[in-house]
A and B are shown apart, each in its own frame.
Chain A
Amino acid sequence: QKEVEQNSGPLSVPEGAIASLNCTYSDRGSQSFFWYRQYSGKSPELIMSIYSNGDKEDGRFTAQLNKASQYVSLLIRDSQPSDSATYLCAVNLGGTGGFKTIFGAGTRLFVKA
């Protein structure tokens, strides 16, 4: 069973703080990693993708990937109340897994004003 594990949360941070979201995955053949944001009652929307070890920054968001540890994280700097949502980690299994994407259960983030 290919698994993607996330801290269920909820994670609560004050406005302006850094929010750190973590994810581990079980399939070493996984090739692509994604972070989606999902507001309550809405569908997921992509905020970051990462394919290589290291950091990838986009505005206030930084994704970090460590394939040896099978670990991917998302940092949100200067957190805003509008960042309050569920953050889904998703892993694409690559060719050996039929390019299927597996999602974690999500971490709920609350940013307090």
Chain B
Amino acid sequence: GAGVSQTPSNKVTEKGKYVELRCDPISGHTALYWYRQSLGQGPEFLIYFQGTGAADDSGLPNDRFFAVRPEGSVSTLKIQRTERGDSAVYLCASSRGTGGRETQYFGPGTRLLVL
């Protein structure tokens, strides 16, 4: 079966530009997570959705970051006025639920480079 997919796989942009990163979760998975991973670090929690609503967005670093999941499936992470410090791999994961014991399945990530 299809796993979690993310597009684009790589994104190069200039400082100050706007970017959108897309995540398509495993079919039927109600929970969706966004993480950011810098070199040599573990995934850093950004936000997760249960259905269409953001259940916890406490990891979003500032108001330049925003994520949506309007129909409870595909999610888009939006970054405004990108900065060089935003360069990282953005990982999306999905799970069947959010009871705390659910396995999270990760997508391949989007490598974002802000010049």
Partner-B contacts on A (CB < 8 A)? 4, 31-32, 34, 42-46, 49, 51, 88, 90, 92-95, 98-106
Interface size counted on chain B using CB atoms at 8 A:
25
Q: Which of B43, B56, B105 has the most CB of A within 10 A?
A: B43
Q: Is the CB of B100 within 8 A of A106?
A: no
- Identify B107's interface contact among A43, A49, A51, A99, CB under 8 A: A43
Q: Is the CB of A99 within 8 A of B42?
A: no
Alpha-carbon distance between A50 and B19 when the two chains are bound, in angstroms? 37
Partner-A contacts on B (CB < 8 A)? 33, 35, 40-45, 48, 55-56, 58-59, 91, 98-101, 103-109
Known contacts A43-B91, A100-B48; A32/B41 CB under 8 A: no
Q: Taking CB as reference atom, which chain A residue is nearest B99? A: A99
With contacts A95-B100, A103-B42, A105-B40 known, what are 5 further pairs, Cβ within 8 A? Answer: A31-B100, A46-B105, A99-B48, A99-B100, A104-B42
Alpha-carbon distance between A101 and B33 when the two chains are bound, in angstroms? 9
